[in-house]
Amino acid sequence: MFFAERFNKKCKNLTANKHFPMQSLAHALVRDGTARFFRWKRGAPPTRQPKIPVTEVIGSFEMVEVPDHYHDSIQRHLKCGCRLGHSAVYEHARAKIGGKCFNAGEKLRVGVRCGSVVTMIAGGRSVYGLIKKFYRVVCTCHSFIDFVLLTWFPLPNYPDGDPLTVKIVLGGSNVNNIPGVSVVLLNDIHPSRIGVEIDNERDCMYMLRIDGIDTMPQPPVL
């Protein structure tokens, strides 16, 4: 019901004239879609300013040992000079990214919203991934830094030529068992919640951002 409830709330907010709801909603949806498209064309920022963003790990946690294959990736981000081997590492169940809550380890299921799907900018374009774990490293100098471990989906493409329609071709891969895990700073994750529509027949899925738009790959300069 996630998509339906979100859509109903958006429709309610866009209906200005309660005496003629359908006509009012139709005009508002056209204005809303047109405004988003032309803001993208102009490169203008969104009209609403976000609230003060809060990004931090939250929820239940336990002290863990960092696996060897993540050790070097995390150590490179410790700019204070402390050693990861002498620091305390905590695994958290949830995180708040830009004031919005996300979960770790949820599997992506058809027709069900997944709080583990996130997006960020990498290589000058938007990419999407599935969160596996949240880590907080507390150094010996008492500073701390938050990380997210995730697997990346295949690169998205844009069949309509704009950043509002986001399609990812799976190529037969299982989105819950994509090999390879990356270590990313929690602050690098975009705070937009993501809905996912899976098309099993065409072996692809569509990413539905609740707010914001993608950063599309730039064409090569000739």
DSSP string for the chain: -HHHHHHHHHHHHH---TTSHHHHHHHHHHHHHHHHHHHHHHTPPPSSPPP----EEEEEEEE-PPPHHHHHHHHTT-TTS--GGGSEEEEEEEEEETTEEEESSPPP-TTS--TTEEEEEETTEEEEEEEEEEEEEE-TTS-EEEEEEEEEPPPPB-TTSSTTSEEEE-TT--GGG-S--EEEEGGGEE---EEEEEETTTTEEEEEESSS---PPPPPP-
Q: Does residue 95 sit in the same domain as residue 18?
A: no
Range of the domain at 31: 2-41
What is residue 150's predicted lDDT score, i.e. its pLDDT? 93
Asked if residue 217 is part of any domain, the answer here is: no
Q: Does residue 37 sit in the same domain as residue 64?
A: no
Q: How sure is the predictor about 214, in pLDDT bands with cuts at 50, 70 and 90? A: very high
Q: Does residue 192 sit in the same domain as residue 153?
A: yes
What is residue 106's predicted lDDT score, i.e. its pLDDT? 87
Q: Does residue 21 sit in the same domain as residue 78?
A: no
Q: Does residue 71 sit in the same domain as residue 148?
A: yes
Asked if residue 143 is part of any domain, the answer here is: yes
The pLDDT > 70 percentage for the chain reads: 89
What is residue 49's predicted lDDT score, i.e. its pLDDT? 55
Asked if residue 220 is part of any domain, the answer here is: no
Asked if residue 49 is part of any domain, the answer here is: no
Q: How sure is the predictor about 210, in pLDDT bands with cuts at 50, 70 and 90? A: confident
Asked if residue 125 is part of any domain, the answer here is: yes
| CATH classification at residue 117 | 2.30.30
Q: How sure is the predictor about 136, in pLDDT bands with cuts at 50, 70 and 90? A: very high
Domains: count for the chain: 2
**Which of 50-54, 121-125, 155-159, 214-218 is least confident?**
50-54
